Amino acid sequence: MTETNLIVEGFKFMGLGMGTVFLFLIVMIGSMNIMSTIIHKFFPEPQAADTNPSATAQKDNKKVVAAITAAITHHRQG
């Protein structure tokens, strides 16, 4: 009889703990969404003045490839 009580008490504590964690996560996600909205409202992302985004992307890709090549070369030497 007392073992059944202990099992029920264990399930109660488990439900309370999981409910607390779930509530905390819901509050955290909500507050992060509100902060994100506020930040985007007061600090919008700057718009690129370049009319040809593919040219910028190609320049960035060349820089990335050069950086990766330099890193691999440095790693093989030392």
- pLDDT higher than threshold 80 for residue 54: no
Q: How far lies 24's CA from each of 13, 16, 20, 21, 34, in Å?
A: 16, 12, 6, 5, 15
Domain range list for the chain? 2-44+53-77
pLDDT at 19: 98
How many CB atoms sit inside 10 A of residue 22's CB?
A: 10
pTM, rounded to two decimals: 0.52
pLDDT interval class at 55 (50, 70, 90): low
- pLDDT higher than threshold 60 for residue 78: yes
Q: How far lies 5's CA from each of 2, 9, 12, 17, 78, in Å?
A: 5, 6, 10, 18, 65
Residue 3 CA to residue 10 CA, distance in Å, equals 10
- pLDDT higher than threshold 60 for residue 48: yes
Mean pLDDT computed over 9-16: 96
pLDDT at 50: 57
